[in-house]
Amino acid sequence: MSDIDTVESSTGKTSDTHRKVVVSEYVSLDGVMEAPGGEEGYKHTGWTFKFDRGPEGDEFKLEEVLASDILLLGRVTYEGFAAAWPSRDDEYADKFNSMDKYVVSTTLEEPLEWNNSTVIGESVADEVSKLKQEPGGDILVHGSAQLVQTLMEHDLVDEYRLMTFPIVLGSGKRLFGETSDTTTLQLVDTETVGSGIVILTYEPAQEETEAEE
């Protein structure tokens, strides 16, 4: 069963004074994003372990999570995180465990064992739009390919941060699947860290206006 319900309405961007949705992903050169951290049941699981992201990469990820106060996940990613993070004890884990978590699912029910967790069971775009209207830190999305697709379809993503690893996996779920429309992005930052890992930061491109005659 899908963990993304039918989205009822489309919503637009919020102003800079409100929260922004940040999609942060590990991807291969051919766009594969599944099982980067050793998750069981996948052909290429743990492929990021072949590389060292170095202190700069570690700092990037820590600053990212410290700037966020909501974690937004699909069911599969949420369940993997909920099984791993509560037992860890460092600054990164402390923030993950203390922040508010929202999981998009039609099968999970509250109360959930991972603290500060709330289920979004329907009207995903509307609920995320409401969260964006509130003041506060970023809404951080990890993994959750189907959720990312839904957020993109409704123009709810403000920033994409793709930690791109120098490996071609050849198969596996890709971050950007087939869609009925194109999405144009604007590159706003690049950073090379560790053993050839490139962090690419994109924002949705501003719509071009026709020049006055």
How far is Cα 56 from Cα 64, in angstroms, rounded to an integer?
12
Q: What is the full DSSP assignment across 81-143?
A: HHHHGGG--SHHHHHHHHSEEEEE-SS--SSPSSTTEEEE-S-HHHHHHHHHHS-SSEEEEES
pLDDT band at 8 (very low <50, low <70, confident <90, very high): very low
The alpha carbon of residue 76 and the mean position of all alpha carbons in its chain are separated, in whole angstroms, by 13
Question: 105, 130 in Cβ contact below 8 A?
Answer: no
Asked if 69 contacts 100 with a C-beta cutoff of 8 angstroms, the reply is yes
This prediction has a pTM of 0.88
Could you list the residue range(s) of the whole structural domain that residue 121 is in?
A: 21-35+44-200
Question: How does pLDDT run across 142-187, given as a tens digit for each residue?
Answer: 999 999 999 999 999 999 999 999 999 999 999 998 888 889 999 9
Q: Is residue 208 part of a domain?
A: no
**Which helix or strand (DSSP H or E) is residue 187 part of?**
strand 185-193
Tell me if 189 is assigned to some domain. yes
- Report which residue type is found at 40: E
Question: Burial, 109: exposed, middle or buried (Cβ in 10 Å; 0-12, 13-18, 19+)?
Answer: exposed
Q: Please name the residue that has the structure tokens 């964006």.
A: 132
Whether 9 maps to a domain, the answer reads no
How many domains does the chain fold into? Answer: 1
What spatial distance separates the first Cα and last Cα of the chain, rounded to whole Å? 53
Comparing 17 with 23, the larger pLDDT belongs to 23
pLDDT band at 16 (very low <50, low <70, confident <90, very high): low
Write out pLDDT tens, residues 111-154.
999 999 999 999 999 999 999 999 999 999 999 999 999 999 99
- Whether 169 maps to a domain, the answer reads yes
Task: Classify residue 8: in a domain, yes or no.
Answer: no
Q: Give the pLDDT confidence score for residue 209 in this predicted structure.
A: 41
Domain contains 56: yes
Q: Cβ distance 74 to 147 under 8 Å?
A: yes
89, part of any domain? yes
CA distance 28 to 34: 9
User: Is residue 2 in some structural domain?
Assistant: no
For residue 125, the domain's CATH number is 3.40.430.10
Average pLDDT, the chain: 90
Query: Is the torsion defined by CA of 81, 104, 29, 205 positive or negative?
Result: negative
Measured in whole angstroms, the distance separating CA 94 from the mean position of its chain's CA atoms is: 19
How far is Cα 34 from Cα 42, in angstroms, rounded to an integer?
Answer: 8
- Judge whether 21 and 132 are in contact, CB under 8 Å: yes
